Amino acid sequence: DTGVSQDPRHKITKRGQNVTFRCDPISEHNRLYWYRQTLGQGPEFLTYFQNEAQLEKSRLLSDRFSAERPKGSFSTLEIQRTEQGDSAMYLCASRGPGAGGENEQFFGPGTRLTVL
């Protein structure tokens, strides 16, 4: 399968713990996005990488959140000191180079986080 993969698919943690999610984009895609989706809502943009550079961060991304994309390949999203409000589906997407207005984004299956 050459699509976007995410690991783990599900994560249950206790409030205050740190969690880390991984995203492996489609190999030739240099652009990578993280989104968050709460129940009944559409996904919301969190952050964007072009190659290894993090070029944009949403105001939704508090100081407890950090994302990296070393070497411009896979990416990790870490949440420190988790809170119950962090419970959501975390989605990763990637796309190839070129003007973004036309190119589609390919999404992974998401990581569902539950904070108890």
Partner 1 sequence: DAKTTQPNSMESNEEEPVHLPCNHSTISGTDYIHWYRQLPSQGPEYVIHGLTSNVNNRMASLAIAEDRKSSTLILHRATLRDAAVYYCILRDRFYNNAGNMLTFGGGTRLMVKP
User: What are the residues binding partner 1 (CB under 8 A)?
Assistant: 4, 31, 33, 35, 41-45, 48, 50, 55-56, 91, 93, 95, 99-110
Smaller CB distance to partner 1: residue 44 or 78? 44
Smaller CB distance to partner 1: residue 13 or 105? 105
Give the nearest distance from C-beta 4 to partner 1 in angstroms.
Answer: 8
Give the nearest distance from C-beta 36 to partner 1 in angstroms.
Answer: 11
Tell me the C-alpha distance between 101 and 105, whole Å: 10
The percent helix, strand, coil of the chain (3-state, each to 5) is 5, 50, 45
Smaller CB distance to partner 1: residue 88 or 91? 91
Give the nearest distance from C-beta 71 to partner 1 in angstroms.
Answer: 18
Tokens of 24: 């492996």
Tell me the C-alpha distance between 27 and 13, whole Å: 30
Q: Are 86 and 113 in contact (CB under 8 A)?
A: yes
Give the nearest distance from C-beta 60 to partner 1 in angstroms.
Answer: 12
Smaller CB distance to partner 1: residue 56 or 78? 56
Tell me the C-alpha distance between 88 and 110, whole Å: 10
